[in-house]
Amino acid sequence: MGNNTKLKIGEFSKMMQVTVKTLRHYEQRGLLMPEEVDKWTGYRYYSISQMQRLNAIRDLQRQGFTLEEIKELFDDGAQMPGVELLTQKIEETERQLQLLVERRRQLLRWLDSHKQKNTMEKFNIQSLPEIIVASHREVIADYSALGALCVNKIGPEMQRLGCKCPLPGYCFTIEHNPEYAPSTIDIEYCEQVEEMGVDSSIIQFKRLSAVPKALCMKHVGPYERFYESYTEAFKYMEEQGYKIAGHPRTCYIDGVWNQDDPEKWVSIIQIPIQ
């Protein structure tokens, strides 16, 4: 091709592998104007410079730039974005990437949930025997504080008091908030012990009556998503004609003490029913 080569819009479309409709759209937006328009026939002709400009538009679109942003860039006489615009686009891409990563996590959680439903019984009804527990009640800022509370405060105090826990071990929490309070969770931690001890400023001993019937449900994942399991549990209770008959317990199997990944934490929700 020489410098004076002119291509009809159809030829240009074919060589550049872009539809005529797209070329007309770019023209309407002021992004890619024909080199020449025949005033008698209306035929549009394109040159080599339009090829280069079209490639620039494609490259910028692939990197997430909108047609409006590309036009502003061209209007300023530039073919490539400057440092400031590139930095903004990188930051925007990082935000989009984080959203996509979180979307992927949620989709994987839903997939795992479906697999679990297909491979295990979601609910079971059990009786909970009368037990003696070492109890500690405190207001915490969020569920993530529970692990540190057990490891740094409750555990050492139980050891100091000489508490003996029957195997395999049974610990759970009961929430006492009358309504949802995300930053002031009134929670009572209870751990089964073999005998009543002497109360301290941190630990109180109490005997809990037996629960004749409790709906038990496995929860996999961080504590901030307990609401998902409660939704399923109460839907099941309604379908089966059960009513709640006491404070729900959350029993902890795997958590921060033995599993770094919160997505693999395992808890059992126990809801007294009648």
pLDDT digits (tens, 9 = 90+) for 41-80: 888 888 888 888 888 899 898 888 889 888 888 888 777 7
Q: Are residues 139 and 252 in the same domain?
A: yes
Q: Are residues 132 and 237 in the same domain?
A: yes
Q: How many domains does the chain have?
A: 3
- Read off the pTM: 0.54
Structure tokens at 32: 């890619």
Q: Give me the domain span that covers residue 100.
A: 82-120
- The DSSP secondary structure of 167-191, one letter per residue, reads TT--EEEEE--SS--TT-EEEEEEE
Structural domain contains residue 2: no
Q: Compute the average pLDDT of residues 192-214.
A: 93
Q: Are residues 186 and 57 in the same domain?
A: no
Predicted confidence at residue 118, as pLDDT, reads 47
Structural domain contains residue 1: no
Q: Are residues 61 and 31 in the same domain?
A: yes
Q: Compute the average pLDDT of residues 221-239.
A: 85
Confidence at 120, pLDDT banded by 50, 70, 90: very low
CATH number of the domain encompassing residue 150: 3.20.80.10
Most confident of 112-121, 189-198, 215-224: 189-198
CATH number of the domain encompassing residue 19: 1.10.1660.10
Q: Are residues 99 and 181 in the same domain?
A: no
